[in-house]
């Protein structure tokens, strides 16, 4: 791989590039699903190729190829230089690349069981067992399951001397039970919606999730929701479970802190951001209890945003985003660091694959747990009247990431510190900063879970990436609660 990369770097330099890097990626994936007792889909694929990034005449150029022969690699490097020189003709601002000491490293993310060592037949058998458990519940009309594995091996070389080899596995699984009655549909998902739970782990994650053991309960809750009371409308304290809080972080913290959005370099899918540069270290983002970090380091946990080095060779870091409620940091790259007065990248540039240009992406954007011991049940017990909401069902947020509405699959009314009834179709809405400033309690470390979001879309052409979001259940005061989905 080093020889192949050298062909690219040398060809780029000979054609006038002042900087070049090459990423070679070997990517294997397996995706399986079932629907109502039958296999829904099954695929096992592998992709190998190289992406070459260069600076020539002060501008970026990028080209990629899945042909790693010398002639193809050199032609691809030449194309990247041509693109850079063409881009330089219309470039308005000078390119400033923050310095970074070139790293030489070989890193493998910790895992116990290679997921590809488990047969597809065994994978499908487990999913069908879960499917059968779900459909054994009277009233469940549709059961869907999924299981996904990925192995990413990457080699990164740069003209500055970087030589980095990284390998990581990611695993994800989950399922959904749907109950239809008349013109009403209710659903429950486990262990989270939109694909379940995903982490940088091997097959051991599948064993940890206890998929079969929880299936009957999930099916029963889906059916029970058909007869549950509608969520009341009004202004209440709400408690969000950790998975819902993770998505709240993703949409109302993670996307707006992407510095390319702030600077107007990116607006696809999620729009731009209300977090203009003047708000850094001056905006009261949340209450004193709100502490959010962007942490790609292994010690943060096996999140989908965990790595040793980003895709321009910058080491994984922990950046304080919100510190005791104060907005303190953005997600940055070598190109954008100077815009916020930093002399080093925050290490967040990543690409979906070898054929995509690396862009600023979320790492693990997590809210830190409370320091005072507090369990979910204790939090509920300390709430006089409110709504506990679990598992995201829908979300909507404006293109500045400021006004939002979220719906969850299930809710529970709390009165006098006890759950008194199940509620269907709960939703809540608010304004980002007002919402985070209303947080008055968060559970401690024992309740904290690092969730995986495998399907975050950004860029044009689109790149789908995995991010991580750690959270403990938390309470928010005086939130507008409604019914997102009117029943019959």
Cα–Cα distance, 206 to 168 (Å, whole number):
16
> How confident is the model over 397-442, as pLDDT tens digits?
999 999 999 999 999 999 999 999 999 999 999 999 999 999 999 9
**Residues 85 and 142 grouped into a single domain:** yes
The predicted structure's pLDDT at residue 486: 55
**Residues 342 and 394 grouped into a single domain:** yes
Instruction: Report which of 444, 436, 442 is spatially closest to residue 478, judged by C-alpha positions.
Output: 436
Number of domains making up the chain: 2
**Residues 198 and 256 grouped into a single domain:** no
Given a contact cutoff of 8 angstroms between Cβ atoms, the answer to whether 271 and 399 are in contact is yes
CATH (domain of 215) = 3.30.2290.10
Q: Which of 227, 261, 286 is the last residue of a domain?
A: 227
Q: Which of 227, 246, 271 is the last residue of a domain?
A: 227
Cα–Cα distance, 193 to 191 (Å, whole number):
7
Model confidence at 199, in pLDDT bands (50, 70, 90)? Answer: very high
Model confidence at 482, in pLDDT bands (50, 70, 90)? Answer: confident
In a domain? residue 427: yes
Mean pLDDT of the residues in the chain: 96
Given a contact cutoff of 8 angstroms between Cβ atoms, the answer to whether 134 and 140 are in contact is yes
Q: Which range marks the domain in which residue 326 is found?
A: 230-483
Structure tokens at 484: 């997102």
**Residues 260 and 206 grouped into a single domain:** no
The predicted structure's pLDDT at residue 269: 75
Which residues of 160-233 form beta strands (DSSP E)? 163-181, 184-190, 197-199, 229-230
Q: Quote the distance between the C-alpha of residue 467 and its chain's center.
A: 2
The predicted structure's pLDDT at residue 488: 40
**Residues 342 and 434 grouped into a single domain:** yes
- Nearest-Å Rg of the Cα atoms of the chain is 24
Cα–Cα distance, 251 to 274 (Å, whole number):
12
Instruction: Kindly state the helix (H) or strand (E) to which residue 18 belongs, with its residue range.
Output: none
**Residues 249 and 356 grouped into a single domain:** yes
Q: Which of 189, 210, 227 is the last residue of a domain?
A: 227
Instruction: Report which of 252, 285, 246, 236 is spatially closest to residue 476, judged by C-alpha positions.
Output: 236
Instruction: Kindly state the helix (H) or strand (E) to which residue 380 belongs, with its residue range.
Output: helix 376-381
Which burial class, exposed, middle or buried, applies to 26 when counting CB atoms under 10 A from its CB (0-12, 13-18, 19+)?
middle
**Residues 257 and 222 grouped into a single domain:** no
Give this prediction's pTM. Answer: 0.96
The predicted structure's pLDDT at residue 483: 61
The predicted structure's pLDDT at residue 267: 87
**Residues 64 and 139 grouped into a single domain:** yes
Instruction: Kindly state the helix (H) or strand (E) to which residue 367 belongs, with its residue range.
Output: strand 365-367
Instruction: Report which of 212, 156, 211, 339 is spatially closest to residue 263, judged by C-alpha positions.
Output: 339
**Residues 143 and 252 grouped into a single domain:** no
Given a contact cutoff of 8 angstroms between Cβ atoms, the answer to whether 354 and 64 are in contact is yes
In a domain? residue 488: no
> How confident is the model over 309-351, as pLDDT tens digits?
999 999 999 999 999 999 999 999 999 999 999 999 999 999 9
Given a contact cutoff of 8 angstroms between Cβ atoms, the answer to whether 259 and 388 are in contact is no
Q: State the Cα torsion 251-257-258-259 to the nearest 10°.
A: 160
Given a contact cutoff of 8 angstroms between Cβ atoms, the answer to whether 325 and 288 are in contact is yes
**Residues 305 and 211 grouped into a single domain:** no
């Amino acid at each position: 791989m080093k020889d192949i990369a050298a062909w690219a770097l040398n060809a780029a330099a000979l054609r006038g590039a002042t900087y070049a890097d090459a990423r070679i990626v070997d990517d294997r994936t397996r995706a399986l699903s079932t629907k109502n007792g039958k296999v829904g889909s099954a695929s096992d694929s592998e992709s190998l190729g190289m992406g070459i990034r260069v600076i020539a005449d002060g501008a970026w150029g990028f080209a990629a190829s899945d042909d790693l022969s010398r002639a193809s690699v050199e032609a691809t490097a030449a194309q990247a230089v041509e693109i850079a020189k063409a881009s330089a003709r219309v470039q308005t601002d000078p390119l400033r690349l923050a310095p970074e000491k070139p790293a030489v490293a070989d890193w493998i993310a910790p895992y116990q069981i290679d997921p590809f060592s488990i047969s597809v037949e065994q994978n499908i058998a487990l999913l069908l067992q879960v499917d059968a458990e779900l459909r054994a519940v009277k009233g469940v009309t549709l059961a869907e399951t999924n299981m996904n594995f990925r192995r990413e091996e990457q080699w990164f070389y740069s003209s500055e001397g970087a030589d980095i080899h990284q390998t990581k596995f990611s695993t994800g699984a989950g399922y959904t039970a749907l109950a239809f009655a008349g013109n009403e549909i209710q659903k429950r998902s486990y262990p989270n919606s939109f694909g379940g739970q995903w982490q940088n782990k091997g097959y051991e994650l599948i064993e940890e999730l206890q998929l079969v053991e929880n299936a009957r309960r999930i099916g029963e809750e889906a059916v029970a929701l058909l007869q549950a009371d509608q969520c009341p409308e009004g202004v209440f304290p709400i408690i969000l479970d950790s998975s819902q809080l993770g998505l709240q972080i993703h949409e109302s913290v993670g996307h707006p802190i992407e510095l390319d959005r702030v600077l107007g370099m990116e607006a696809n899918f999620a729009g731009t951001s209300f977090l203009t540069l003047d708000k850094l270290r001056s905006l009261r983002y949340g209450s004193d209890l709100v502490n959010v970090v962007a942490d790609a380091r292994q010690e943060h946990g096996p999140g989908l945003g965990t790595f040793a080095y980003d895709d321009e060779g910058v080491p994984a870091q922990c950046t304080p985003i919100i510190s005791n409620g104060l907005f303190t940091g953005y997600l940055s790259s070598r190109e954008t660091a100077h815009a916020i007065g930093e002399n080093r990248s925050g290490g967040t540039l990543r690409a979906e694959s070898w054929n995509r240009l690396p862009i600023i992406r979320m790492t693990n954007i997590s809210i830190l747990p409370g320091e005072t011991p507090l369990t979910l049940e204790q939090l509920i017990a300390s709430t006089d009247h409110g709504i506990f909401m679990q598992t995201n069902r829908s979300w909507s947020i404006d293109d500045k990431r400021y006004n939002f509405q979220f719906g969850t699959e299930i809710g529970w009314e709390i009165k006098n510190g006890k759950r008194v009834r199940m509620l269907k179709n709960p939703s809540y809405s608010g304004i980002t900063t007002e919402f985070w400033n209303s947080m008055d309690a968060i559970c401690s470390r024992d309740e904290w879970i690092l969730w995986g979001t495998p399907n975050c879309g950004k860029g044009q052409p689109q790149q789908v990436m995995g991010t991580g979001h750690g959270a403990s259940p938390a309470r928010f005061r005086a939130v507008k609660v409604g019914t997102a989905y009117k029943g019959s």
